[in-house]
Amino acid sequence: MTDIVRYGVIGTGMMGVEHILNINELDGAVVTAISDPDAGSRTAGAEAAGIGDDGVFSDHRDLIASGRCDAVVVASPNYTHIDILPDVLHAGLHVLAEKPLCTTVEDCRTVIEAAEDYDGVAWMGMEYRYKPPIARLVEEVSEGTAGRVHMVAIREHRFPFLVKVGNWNRFSRNTGGTLVEKCCHFFDLMNLITGAEPVRVYASGGQSVNHLDEEYDGEVPDILDNAYVIVDYDSGARAMLDLCMFAEGSRNEQEIAVTGDTGKVEAFVPESVVRIGRRSDGEVTEFEVVDDRVAYAGLHEGSSYLEHLDFLEAIRNGTSPKVTLEDGMRAVALGVAAHRSIDEGRPVMWDEVITRPMP
pLDDT value at position 359? 42
pLDDT value at position 356? 62
Strands 254-260 and 149-157, bridge-based pairing: antiparallel
* Domain regions of the chain by residue span: 5-125, 128-309+330-353
Q: Is the pLDDT of residue 358 over 90?
A: no
- 1 falls in which pLDDT band (50, 70, 90)? very low
What's the gap between Cα 147 and its chain centre? 27
Mean pLDDT, rounded, of the chain? 96
Tell me the per-residue pLDDT of 36-53, one tens digit each, with 9 for 90 and over: 999 999 999 999 999 999
Residue 86: burial class (beta carbons within 10 Å; 0-12, 13-18, 19+):
middle
Task: Name the phi and psi angles at 65, rounded to 5.
Answer: -80, -10
Query: How many residues can be counted in the chain?
Result: 359
347 touches 200 (CB < 8 A): yes
What's the gap between Cα 131 and its chain centre? 12
Taking alpha carbons only, the member of 8, 184, 211 closest to residue 104 is 184
Tell me the per-residue pLDDT of 188-219, one tens digit each, with 9 for 90 and over: 999 999 999 999 999 999 999 999 999 999 99
Euclidean distance between CA atoms 149 and 285, whole angstroms: 19
Task: Name the phi and psi angles at 91, rounded to 5.
Answer: -80, -10
CATH classification code of 5-125? 3.40.50.720
Please indicate whether the domains covering 5-125 and 128-309+330-353 agree at the CATH topology level.
no
DSSP 222-243: ----EEEEEEEETTS-EEEEEE
Taking alpha carbons only, the member of 340, 59, 1, 293 closest to residue 172 is 340
pLDDT value at position 3? 86
Q: Is the pLDDT of residue 318 over 90?
A: yes
- Say whether 149 sits in a helix, a strand or coil: strand
Task: Report the pLDDT averaged over residues 17-29.
Answer: 97
- For domain 128-309+330-353, give the CATH superfamily: Dihydrodipicolinate Reductase; domain 2 (3.30.360.10)
Task: Report the pLDDT averaged over residues 270-292.
Answer: 97
326 touches 354 (CB < 8 A): no
Half-sphere exposure of 318 (CA within 13 A, CB side): 3
Euclidean distance between CA atoms 31 and 315, whole angstroms: 15
201 touches 342 (CB < 8 A): no
Q: What interhelical angle do 132-142 and 184-194 show, nearest 10?
A: 20
More confident residue, 267 or 3: 267
